Every structure is written in C-alpha cells, then in structure tokens.
C-alpha cells in the first residue's frame, strides 16, 4: 500500500477548504488598514496616520483548560471569543486600539465542523473588539494531541500614540478605582474550578442558584471591554491606569500598574460576587485569599481614574452599555493591592 500524507493523518485538501471558509466568514472583521490577509504567507497593515508617534502594542495568550470543558460539553462555539478577549483586553490596558488578530489552532485531526465553530467564535470576538482577523495557522499533528483535543493560541496587535500610552505612572493618592463586571470565570482558574466542581456535579446539572446548567455557566465567554473603554478615552477621560483581571486575580494584576509608595485599597463588599464563585469556594473550602488570587471574583477589568473625572467616565461607560462600579481608591502605602 502506497503511503500518503492523508493516510498519515494530515488532510491537506480539508485544510485548504477550511482556509477558504475562514476567508469567507472573516470578511466582516476587515479594517481598511488591512492590505494582505488570510490566504497569503503573511499579513500586512498600514499604520493609521492620525497619530504623531504611533507605537505598536503586542499580546499573546490562550484559553487554558477551559478548552477541556468545551470538549466535555461538545461545544466550542464560545472559546473563540475567549481567545480574542484574552489578548485584546491585555492590549487595551495600555490605551491601545486592537487592529489585528491572528490565531493558532493545533489538533490531532481537523474536524471541519468543529474548526468552523471555533473560527466563528474568533470572528465574533474580532467584531466585538473592532479588529481584523488577519491570518493564522491550523496544524494537524496526529501524534501530538489525543483525538478531539484542541489547543488555541491568539496573537493581537494594537496601536497607540506615544503621547497617550497608559502605564500607571501618573496614578496618585486619591485616585479612584473603578471595576467593570466580568461575565463569569472568563478564562482563568479552570484547573481549580474543575477539580472542585467535577467531584460532585456533572456539567448538565442545573444547580438551584444558577440560571443555567453548570456546563453552560463555565462556557460563558470572556467579556471584551475594548469599545466602551476606547470610547471613554476618545472623549478625553483621565484614565491613569488599567488592568485586565486574569490569572492572579485583582491582587496580581492591578498591582502591575500601581506605582511604588502607593497601594490600591479595594473594598470587597462594593460589588456582588457572582454565584459561581461562591459555589466553588463553598464546595472546595477555598480560602478567601486563594479565591482572590485565582479568579476575577466578578471584576474583569479595572480602571484607575482621576477623582475629578469619575462621574464623566461612569456616564461614558453607561452610554455604551457598560457598568462601572467604584470598588476602591489609591492611598499611600507599600505598594500593590490591599483587599479590605
């Protein structure tokens, strides 16, 4: 029997059809700056001319073990949104606008229906973030991954004027900390969540305190904060620092932008912690400190604002459908974050 690449587990014809379908569904994400996109060897974009000194901002991230939940639920329709969100929210913390996204999908054998399901989520995420899906890579590696297992990695590029980049250096005593609610676990802490929850519950189970099945709750996609925050910045709001609350929670992420000699004092009772976190904590007997350094606890993105501009900022967020919550303030201290 003559051996072929297809018999070895890699179907080039199927991969080509997959690329053509991606080109079709991704057209809705294309920005005018994109010159070369999906189908070529590389992507190319022009740099917007409305900036004096444009800086390019980069980010790369994945979805983590949330993919195992998607596999168990046989539902990959939302993880593409997660993939985009984890990258564009990081870029947003600098005040940059995401303009371009690329993806990597690794699997044992590409299932076209499943692949398109993932890509539709990625396209939706790019639409929500206002960036172009400019390219990517899909790799079939039958000896690398178990059948049905997928790995997703994303790469995002943003742009910001050097004079408007946000680093946290301008944060001072008296500034206000504003939290933007998360949609759930987002894409962090799933190793702990699975360890705790799957000992007692199955994914199709409807707990009394949840409005959906456990599996549906765990697959709620990561919220994308790009458009509301960029709108506030374009309105001239005095945002001094921002943090995307991922692995490490509020203490581990907000502390990255707090200058030495200051501390962000966070009032834990200033927002309602979503039920899913309470279930995890109760079932796993997880201590408060561990919960706050593993999960977002209901706050997915944080803005540090000049106190004089808080009302304007909150109004801007509300007009875009986003809800801002004052969760703390900046005080003198040894640095980092203090949850009280």
Query: Is CATH 3.90.650.10 what the domain over 176-339 is classified as, yes or no?
Result: yes
Cα angle 58-189-304, degrees, rounded to a multiple of 5: 55
pTM of the model: 0.93
Q: Which residue has the tokens 């997703």?
A: 152
Mean pLDDT of the chain: 92
Give the residue extent of every domain in the chain: 12-164, 176-339
Lowest-confidence segment of 26-40, 94-108, 307-321 by average pLDDT? 26-40
Residue 170 DSSP symbol: T
d(CA 49, CA 53): 9
Residues of 1-14 as b/e, b for ≥16 C-beta within 10 angstroms? eeeeeeeeebbeeb
- Tell me the two tokens of residue 135: 């390219």
Q: What is the CA radius of gyration of the chain?
A: 21
C-alpha distances in angstroms, 151 versus 64, 82, 144, 280?
Answer: 8, 13, 11, 25
Topology of the domain comprising 12-164: 60s Ribosomal Protein L30; Chain: A; (3.30.1330)
pLDDT band at 335 (very low <50, low <70, confident <90, very high): confident
Q: What is the pLDDT at residue 211?
A: 87
Chain segment 249-283, per-residue pLDDT in tens: 999 999 999 999 999 999 999 999 999 999 999 99
d(CA 33, CA 132): 9
Residue 102 has pLDDT above 90, yes or no: yes
3-state secondary structure (DSSP) of residue 285? coil
pLDDT band at 121 (very low <50, low <70, confident <90, very high): very high
pLDDT band at 117 (very low <50, low <70, confident <90, very high): very high
Q: What is the DSSP string of 118-148?
A: HHHHHHHHHHHHT-EEEEEEEEE-TTTS-TT
pLDDT band at 41 (very low <50, low <70, confident <90, very high): confident
What integer is the mean pLDDT of 91-114?
93
């Amino acid at each position: 029997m003559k051996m072929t690449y297809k018999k070895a587990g890699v179907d080039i014809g199927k991969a080509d059809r997959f690329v053509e379908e991606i080109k079709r569904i991704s057209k809705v994400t294309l920005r005018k700056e994109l010159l070369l996109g999906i189908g070529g060897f590389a992507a190319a974009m022009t740099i917007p001319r409305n900036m004096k000194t444009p800086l390019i901002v980069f980010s790369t991230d994945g979805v983590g073990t949330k993919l195992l939940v998607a596999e168990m639920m046989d539902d990959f329709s939302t993880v593409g949104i997660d993939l985009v969100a984890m990258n564009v929210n990081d870029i947003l913390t600098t005040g940059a606008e995401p303009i371009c996204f690329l993806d990597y999908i690794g699997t044992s054998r590409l299932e076209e229906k499943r692949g398109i399901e993932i890509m539709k989520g990625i396209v939706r995420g790019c639409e929500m973030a206002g960036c172009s899906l400019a390219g990517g890579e899909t790799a079939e590696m039958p000896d690398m991954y178990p059948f049905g297992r997928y790995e997703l990695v994303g790469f995002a590029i943003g742009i910001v004027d050097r004079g408007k980049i946000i680093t946290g250096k301008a944060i001072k005593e008296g500034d206000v900390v504003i939290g933007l609610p998360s949609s759930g676990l987002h894409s962090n802490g799933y190793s702990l969540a699975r360890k705790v929850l799957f000992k007692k519950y199955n994914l199709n189970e409807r707990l009394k305190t949840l409005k959906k099945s456990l599996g549906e709750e765990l697959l709620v996609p990561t919220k994308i904060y790009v458009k509301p925050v960029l709108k506030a910045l374009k309105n001239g709001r005095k945002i001094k620092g921002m943090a995307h609350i991922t692995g490490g929670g509020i203490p581990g992420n907000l502390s990255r932008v707090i200058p030495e000699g200051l501390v962000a004092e966070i009032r834990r009772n200033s927002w309602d912690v979503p039920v899913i976190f309470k279930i995890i904590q109760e079932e796993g007997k997880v201590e408060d400190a561990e919960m706050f350094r593993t999960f977002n606890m209901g706050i997915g993105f944080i803005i540090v604002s000049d106190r004089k501009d808080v009302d304007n900022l909150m109004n801007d967020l509300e007009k875009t459908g986003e809800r801002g919550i004052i969760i703390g303030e900046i005080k003198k201290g040894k640095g980092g974050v203090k949850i009280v």
